[in-house]
Copies of this chain bind each other. A is one copy, B any other.
Amino acid sequence: MPSRRERIYDIIFEADTPLGKAFDVVLIISILLSVLAVMLDSVPALHARWGAFFYFLEWLFTVLFTVEYLVRLWCIGKPWAYARSFYGIVDLLGVLPAYISLLLAGSQYMLVIRLLRVLRVFRVLRLMRYVGEAQALTEAMRASRRKITVFLFTVATLVVIFGSLMFLIESPEAGFTSIPRSVYWAVVTLTTVGYGDISPLTPLGQAVSSVVMILGYAIIAVPTGIVTVELSRSMRYQTGRVCPGCGKEGHDDNARFCKFCGAELDPGHPSGE
């Protein structure tokens, strides 16, 4: 029979018991509420009226998350490994700012650290039925990271060259006061964001801009193509067929033999989501 520590571990680290699921739902709601409170507190009008209430909420959630953090440390097998893991650090960063604000006069910079709490939602998602989905996405991202790097270098080169070109063509009155600022304009234009805070005034500048826009419009096809191809690969592996010989997964729909050990596979089930 599992000890109390093991049962608590199942509740807060797993999601396959009713209690574990309930804990996850409560946790995700608490996280979202605490993030919402920090955000609303930054609105001057709301801070003036509800500031004390938001202060109370912040401490309520801080105490709750501190208790949760300590319980996680207590019931896990390797507390130190957890404390140094990505989610362990995020958990700690979610509660530290409140305590630091007691010592130091509350720095604004603590705000963003507090909001990093929102990352904790992903742990809960991981536990629930979204694991496989996130894995396919992460897999595709991982597989395409080098192509994406080459693409980002190309984009960086384009914005540097077109940005400095526009710095020569356009006058400072149009907003092109320096090369970094012109490169910022090139990013705004190439990514098709187009704030309009800096926009070309001369015919030549508008012609060059048009080239940058059409370029940006066309090359967005590249990351899309890369991710689509990789996703279609990583999603092909989702069929969940296991080799009866070596136990490995990752077989294509049309595979008849295991590609790792050569054993015959069971016929594929009609795959799908």
Residues of A within 8 A of B (CB): 35, 38-40, 42-44, 108-109, 111-112, 115-116, 118-119, 121-122, 125, 129-130, 133-134, 136-137, 140, 143-144, 146-153, 155-157, 160-161, 164-165, 167-168, 177-181, 183-184, 187-197, 199, 203, 206-207, 209-210, 213-214, 216-218, 220-233, 235, 250-252, 254-264, 272-273
Contact = CB atoms under 8 A, between A and B. Distances in A.
A134 to B, nearest CB: 5
8 contacts: A42-B164, A115-B160, A118-B160, A152-B214, A183-B210, A220-B220, A224-B224, A228-B231
A167 B232 CA distance: 38
A202 to B, nearest CB: 11
A139 B261 CA distance: 28
Nearest to A145: B273
A145 B131 CA distance: 14
Contacts of A109: 168
Interface class of chain A by DSSP: helix
A43 B156 CA distance: 19
A179 B258 CA distance: 53
A146 B23 CA distance: 21
Given A225-B224, A272-B143, A188 B194 contact: yes
